[in-house]
Amino acid sequence: MQDWMALPAGFEPATSGLENRCSIQLSYGSPLQRTSRDARRQANPIARQGAACYSFAVICGRVLLLFSLPLLTGCGTISYYAQAARGQMELICKRQPIEAVLADSKQPEILKARLRLVNELREFAATELDLKPGDSYTHYVALDRPMVLWVVNATPEFSLKLKSWWHPFVGRFEGRGLFGKLQAEQLAKEFRAQGYDVVTSGAPAYSTLGWFADPVLSTFVNFDDAGLAELIFHELTHQRLYVPDDTAFNESFATATAQVATLKWLTARGDEGACKLYADSVKRLHRITQILHITRNNLRTLYSNPPDDINALRRHKANIYQKLRAELEILQNEPGFSSVQDWLRRPLNNASLGSVAIYHRHVPAFRKLFESCNHNFPDYFKAVEKLGELPRTERHRALDILRLSAP
């Protein structure tokens, strides 16, 4: 979300590839949210709801405004924001109303079935989850590529701190999203040449957080039912609440909310088998992220008290990653963990661990908060809004306390 961030392959719940999603906190889509709930929040936007449907002229005006702001402030290059504007305009120009697709006899029935499911998920979000879809996911866009964009994450060689970029309305975000794969690979190459640890991930979806009505994309419409539900609920959560300059808070909040929302939806469907499969996949995902969390802690200890010899530091770092790889190689042989093979095909480095941590660092804390609100979504969102209003340091301290009390 924003963000342009994606969880590396091999960490998806079920078989959806869901976590490879990106909620782009668009510098231009300003990711976030929609109509303020009151004048105070409008002045300091934390929660906005419901995306509205605008005329094409208004949409074009917003694209020009949002992508020209960084140029006026000197916070981005012309080429970067030009590609971002082109990418967003492509989605706007190619979109078709879902109702028109459903009425088109030439469209395949399998696509229509997926779009009907999207309509069902939108209705459930509005009536049962206190999420406001607005006009998001009322249009469909067929793309000729497997991902809508590609995200580049980078860290210094001996640091876990992801490089961040400033975006209007969103603040700083730890990732760079590009609509062209070759452009992303070129940026990654440039960072590697500067000595950074780098990871590039494809993102099947992103959220403009209410500046535009986000469409259903061909890159994710064929996810399995649980995966599609989780993605829709994740992105709608970004529209429900977004805190500038705190990517880990926003992504962890959306991840945790989407997980409990998906379980609620599957339960309402009466599909006990699907419920168990999804719950088990979430547990497996948690187990993997815990292994990565331990690795990050070991690296943090190393980087905070490094040996004087840089070659010795590199050896210690390599040993930590070799241990992680060995653990994952064992884990992939356990039932349900075969997708870990995808992770093992990728380089293990600070950037890849960081891109995962953004989505999962605070998930246990938000799950605990949801439980303390008796699984009531309106009360839960009010509690999260209060967290969002705290200064960043206090907010993270509160989340750490919640995490420590989680099972």
Strand pairing class (149-155; 197-203): antiparallel
- In a domain? residue 242: yes
| Both tokens assigned to 360 | 């999962």
Helix (H, G, I), strand (E, B) or coil at 10: coil
**DSSP 3-state assignment of 201?**
strand
Q: Which of 59-73, 139-153, 155-169, 366-380 has the lowest mean pLDDT?
A: 59-73
Residue at 166 is within a domain: yes
pLDDT of residue 80: 81
Residue 1 within any structural domain of the chain: no
pTM of the model: 0.82
Identify whether 119 is part of a domain.
yes
pLDDT cut 90: percent of the chain above it:
69
Note whether residue 319 is domain-resident: yes
Distance, CA of 48 to CA of 257 (rounded, Å):
16
Cα–Cα distance for residue pair 317/158, rounded to 1 Å: 8
> Is residue 95 included in any domain, yes or no?
yes
Rounded mean pLDDT, 363-378: 97
Instruction: Count up the domains in the chain and report the number.
Output: 1
Q: Is residue 37 part of a domain?
A: yes
CA distance 229 to 121: 7
145 has a pLDDT exceeding 80? yes
Question: Cα(358)–Cα(164) distance, rounded to whole angstroms?
Answer: 12
CA–CA distance, 273 with 27 (Å, rounded to integer): 41
Spatial distance between the Cα atoms of 211 and 169, rounded to a whole number of angstroms: 11
* pLDDT tens-digit series, residues 48-67: 333 334 444 444 444 444 44
pLDDT digits (tens, 9 = 90+) for 184-207: 999 999 999 999 999 999 999 988
| DSSP tag of 135 | T
- Residue 87 CA to its chain's centroid (Å): 18
Q: Note the pLDDT of residue 74.
A: 46
380 contact partners, CB below 8 Å, separation of at least 6: 257, 369, 370, 373
Tokens of 286: 């948690």
> What tens digit of pLDDT does each residue of 309-349 get?
999 999 999 999 999 999 999 999 999 999 898 888 888 99
Provide φ and ψ at 338, rounded to 5°.
-65, -25
The answer as to whether 121 is a domain residue is yes
Cβ atoms of 20 and 206 closer than 8 Å: no
Domain around 263: 18-361
pLDDT digits (tens, 9 = 90+) for 51-109: 334 444 444 444 444 444 444 444 446 788 788 888 989 999 999 999 999 999 999 99
